[in-house]
Amino acid sequence: MKKQNIVVVILAVLAGLLLAVWGMFAVGDNMPRGVTEFSREAYDLHMIILWICVVIGVLVFGAMFVSIILHRKSRGAEAAQFTHSTKAEVAWTVIPIIILVAMAIPATRVLILMETTAGYEMDIKITGYQWKWHYEYMGEGVSFISSLDSASNAARIKNSGIDPASVDNYLLEVDNRLVIPADTKIRFLLTAGDVIHSWWVPELGWKRDAIPGLVNEAWTEVSEPGVYRGQCAELCGKDHGFMPIVVEVLPKAEFNQWLVEQKGPQDDLDTSGYAEAGDSAAADTALTSTVN
Amino acid sequence: MSNTAAVQEHHDDAHHGPAKGLMRWVFTTNHKDIGTLYLLFALLMFLVGGFMAMIIRAELFQPGLQLVDPEFFNQMTTMHALVMIFGAVMPAFVGLANWMVPMMIGAPDMALPRMNNWSFWILPFAFVMLLSTLFMPSGGPAGGWTLYPPLSLQTGNSFAFVIFAIHMMGISSIMGAINIIATILNMRAPGMTLLRMPLFVWTWLITAFLLIAVMPVLAGAVTMLLTDRFFDTSFFNAAGGGDPVMFQHIFWFFGHPEVYIMILPAFGVISEIIPTFARKPLFGYSAMVYATASIAFLSFIVWAHHMFTVGMPLGGELFFMYATMVIAVPTGVKVFNWVSTMWRGSMTFETPMLFALAFVILFTIGGFSGLMLAIVPADFQYHDTYFVVAHFHYVLVTGAIFGIIAGVYYWLPKWTGHMYSERLGKIHFWWSTISVNVLFFPQHYLGLAGMPRRIPDYAVQFADYNMISSIGGFAFGLAQLLLVYIVWQTARGGQKATAQVWEGAKGLEWTVPSPAPYHTFEDPPVIDDSKLAHGDVAH
Ligand code: HEM
Ligand SMILES: [Cu+2]
Ligand SMILES: [Cu+2]
């Protein structure tokens, strides 16, 4: 086959693959960049490793398609009989190792960032129950239950006849939101009262399991006030899909005002969930938080 | 030694063919019969598990709950995984091993034929028991195939049946694995040295060791669940001083090698098929063997990459991240070697080759997402979302199952003596390959956009991708009925296959007639290096 034709085939295959890659990016959703330092770092790592995969993929699949087009029997290709190439084999062992080391370095740095909770200004305890979240502002005497809001709850019944599209933030709205201040390093202490749950708000950049008998740590610091939504990420029984998380980030001053309001008459808060939980751990939490 | 005993025993019935009627199948000790039983059983379970997947995709077709209740939905996801892993993929590979390993190494049968019969016949009972839990008052297991406590301990009394079924599957797998090791190590024809063995035999040898190492670990883990659930122990119960996270460590110490148990034999099948249709020896045979062995070794030290979000110490997270990233290197070597085998070959594109090519590309895509999942900070986002679901379906459906299907098309003429319909095979290939991508590719987007896995209903922003995925799912499911038809049609008749079947095929299995006689290699064959599928013997 003429040299020129081979070049044409290679270019055509490359063009095809790049078109496919472009198409995949064009039609698809991506990970949110989020609103925290960590979420942006995680996003960057995600994009770097994704592009590494894309480049390797284009090279490997490119070689494969070129071979499929050129080295076919129907074109009269004769099979070579080589079975080795020390150079190539060393190259495709060593180059990936270098790429991986290069990738491991920033990943390590970001992981250390995530696991360093020191310097937090506020503690919030998150307890997962089947199928709601309990939030406690440690030392503030404020705590409440947060569960799926009633509009979603009505629509999610089998054959409810309510169109989910007609419900605002279907399955992603709660009765009591977790309100936190902006520009504040907050430490979360996560645990659970019955089975394992996992607390996840994509915009904050991480999820962490809430495990009975164990207290996990995580932290966040959000600069942009706003409402950020997430869901329980660990299968926790029949209503696992129905225990969303809504975080409302307020400017510091507004948050302080909100906190003061909460410290007022506790009866305003929806604590009806405790009785249902029917679990001694749940009752304990309820007790301590109201005594506070 | 056992091999002499086995050979001896076999000479007794060397001169008659299969018994007649049903009892042939019940009492058979013939590796080909047992291979057929395994493969048919796997096909049946593939359809049962596939039916459950259809229920899942139908419920997820649009937001809102339309068809099933959440509890039943969770039973479906749990059972789908258990049936596909333990009922479809693993038995299918054991079936391929039963049929092909003795023929590939020039042995008359498996080393332990009676145990072989037993290891198969346990399976139907195990799965009847497992599936029967769906009809028990307390329903089937609904805590996910990973059986994490404390949730799995909320299962009703049917849990005992689930665990007993898992024990039986484990015993069956261990017996199958022992048999394969004994066969490969003791029954090779003279001259069939270890480094002359076809790669399918190599990958199965390594897989069998993995099975023996980790199935007992699973058995231990589920036994502790059993006593926690019924006998008031507290292995995993925090209130009693136990640790729910410990279960996850034990489970994934089994679970990660398990995923390689499901892919290594597929690597072997693909390494047989590509040289055949490229008419060129396998590139880097010994590198392939070493890569397989290192993957198997590494698979024991990466388990906690499934549990990055449980709150491990930083040092642990770093270790498991690095170890997981390292696995990409030998995996890459395999892919590069397959592509190099094609390079400057003389390729034709019969159905087995088409599935093998799709395997190389789509499995690699699954490997890429695996590499992404290894990056812990990013995994804090990916974990337990549809991104993970997409990852493992690329490696398992377009990896393990495409490998099995490729192997079935490749060896079906040898088994039945007939050629399958190439036209239908190609239709099956294109239909499957297009639909499987429509089914699973959008799930990457769903995960990145924030959809958790294992939920029966979802926020409306996930509706479009879910609908696309479901349509792909129905199409893929339908395509597999075509596979059933093709296999049935080929078994019944068709163009006669030659002994060689494929122009470029090399290896001992192609030296016996098609269909392979009931007994093969009662006298050991003479090994001719030029007839082996790789050009490496001199090295
Ligand atoms: C390059 C090689 C691979 C790497 C680096 C890799 C990495 C990972 C990681 C880190 C996870 C955990 C994700 C999470 O839950 O957050 C995962 C999940 C999984 N992988 Fe892979 N993987 C690889 C290949 C494979 C192969 C070959 C298989 C099977 C044939 C496989 C099957 C699975 C399965 C079944 C799960 C999910 C299990 C579950 O949670 O139910 N992976 N993989
Ligand atoms: Cu949950
Ligand atoms: Cu793994």
Determine whether the shortest distance from the Cβ of B350 to ligand 1 is under 6 A: no
Strand partners, A248: A179, A227
Residues A94 and A157 in one domain: no
Residues A222 and A256 in one domain: yes
- Whether A81 maps to a domain, the answer reads no
Determine whether the shortest distance from the Cβ of B331 to ligand 1 is under 6 A: yes
Chain B residues whose beta carbon lies within 8 Å of the beta carbon of residue A196: 148, 150-151, 244
Res. B12: pLDDT tops 80 = no
Residues A140 and A279 in one domain: yes
| pLDDT tens per residue across span B350-392 | 999 999 999 999 999 999 999 999 999 999 999 999 999 999 9
End-to-end CA distance of chain A: 84
Contact at 8 Å (CB) between A229 and A244? yes
Q: How many CA atoms lie within 13 A of B474 on its CB side?
A: 11
pLDDT confidence of residue B326: 95
Domain that holds residue A97: 3-75+86-115
Torsions phi, psi for B283 (to 5 deg) = -80, 135
- Whether A38 maps to a domain, the answer reads yes
Of B342, B364, B381, Cβ closest to residue A57: B364
Determine whether the shortest distance from the Cβ of B328 to ligand 1 is under 6 A: yes
**Sorting pLDDT into bands at 50, 70 and 90, what band is B3?**
very low
pLDDT confidence of residue B485: 97
pLDDT confidence of residue B393: 97
* B290-325 core/surface letters (b: 16 or more CB in 10 A; e: else): ebbbbbbebbebbbbbbbbbbbbeeeebbebbbbbb
For residues B533 and B269, the model is more confident at: B269
Determine whether the shortest distance from the Cβ of B396 to ligand 1 is under 6 A: yes
- Whether A80 maps to a domain, the answer reads no
How deeply is B515 buried, as exposed, middle or buried, from its count of CB atoms within 10 A (0-12, 13-18, 19+)?
A: middle
- Whether A213 maps to a domain, the answer reads yes
Chain A residues whose beta carbon lies within 8 Å of the beta carbon of residue B140: none
pLDDT confidence of residue A274: 45
How large is the greatest C-alpha to C-alpha distance in chain A, in angstroms?
Answer: 87
Alpha-carbon distances of A64 from A9, A17, A88, A127, rounded to whole Å: 12, 11, 16, 51
Secondary element (H or E) of residue B42? helix B31-59
Res. A279: pLDDT tops 90 = no
Res. A268: pLDDT tops 70 = no
Number of domains in chain A: 2
Residue of A216, A177, A187, A179 whose CA lies nearest to A124: A187
Mean pLDDT along residues B222-243: 94
Contact at 8 Å (CB) between B534 and B282? yes
- Whether A109 maps to a domain, the answer reads yes
- Whether A269 maps to a domain, the answer reads no
Residues A28 and A66 in one domain: yes
Chain A residues whose beta carbon lies within 8 Å of the beta carbon of residue B138: none
Residues A109 and A155 in one domain: no
Q: What percent of chain B has pLDDT over 70?
A: 96
Ligand 1 center to residue B306 CA distance, Å?
8
Residues A287 and A167 in one domain: yes
Determine whether the shortest distance from the Cβ of B263 to ligand 1 is under 6 A: yes
Chain B neighbours among A 240-259 (CB < 8 Å)? 240-242
**Sorting pLDDT into bands at 50, 70 and 90, what band is B125?**
very high
Contact at 8 Å (CB) between A185 and A119? yes
Selected for mutation to probe chain B from A83, A92, A93 (highest B CB count within 10 Å) is A83
- Whether A25 maps to a domain, the answer reads yes
Selected for mutation to probe chain A from B340, B394, B529 (highest A CB count within 10 Å) is B340
What letter does residue B154 receive in the DSSP assignment? Answer: G
Residues A105 and A151 in one domain: no
CA dihedral in degrees (B530, B532, B533, B535; nearest 10)? -50
B203, B248, B305, B307, best to mutate for ligand 1 pocket (most atoms within 8 Å of CB) = B305
- Whether A287 maps to a domain, the answer reads yes
* Rounded Cα distance, A71 and B124, in Å: 46
Q: What ipTM is given for this predicted complex?
A: 0.91
pLDDT confidence of residue B536: 53
| pLDDT tens per residue across span A235-245 | 999 999 999 99
| pLDDT tens per residue across span A94-134 | 999 999 999 999 999 999 999 888 889 999 999 999 999 99
Res. A71: pLDDT tops 70 = yes
Average pLDDT of chain B is 93
Ligand 1 center to residue B253 CA distance, Å?
13
Q: Quick check: A45 and B375 CB within 8 A?
A: yes
Mean pLDDT along residues A40-46: 96
Res. B2: pLDDT tops 80 = no
Residues A158 and A281 in one domain: yes
pLDDT confidence of residue B477: 97
Q: How many CA atoms lie within 13 A of B296 on its CB side?
A: 24
Residues A26 and A128 in one domain: no
Residues A95 and A202 in one domain: no
**What DSSP letter does each residue of chain A carry, written as one string?**
--HHHHHHHHHHHHHHHHHHHHHHHHH-------SBHHHHHHHHHHHHHHHHHHHHHHHHHHHHHHHHHHSBGGGTPPPP-----HHHHHHHHHHHHHHHHHHHHHHHHHHHHHH--TT-SEEEEEEEETTEEEEEETTTTEEEEE-B-HHHHHHTSTT----GGGSTTTTS-BSS-EEEETT--EEEEEEESSS-EEEEEGGGTEEEEE-BT--EEEEE-B-S-EEEEEEE-S--STTGGG-EEEEEEE-HHHHHHHHHHHHS-GGGS--THHHHH--HHHHHHHHHHHH-
**Sorting pLDDT into bands at 50, 70 and 90, what band is A265?**
low
Radius of gyration of chain A (CA): 26
pLDDT confidence of residue B261: 96
Nearest listed ligand to the Cα of residue A243: 2
Q: What percent of chain B has pLDDT over 90?
A: 90
pLDDT confidence of residue B471: 98
Residues A110 and A133 in one domain: no
| pLDDT tens per residue across span A254-264 | 999 999 999 87
A212: domain CATH number? 2.60.40.420
pLDDT confidence of residue B22: 86
Contact at 8 Å (CB) between A110 and A45? yes
Residues A28 and A91 in one domain: yes
**Sorting pLDDT into bands at 50, 70 and 90, what band is A267?**
low
Any idea which of A49-58, B9-18, B162-171 has the lowest mean pLDDT?
A: B9-18
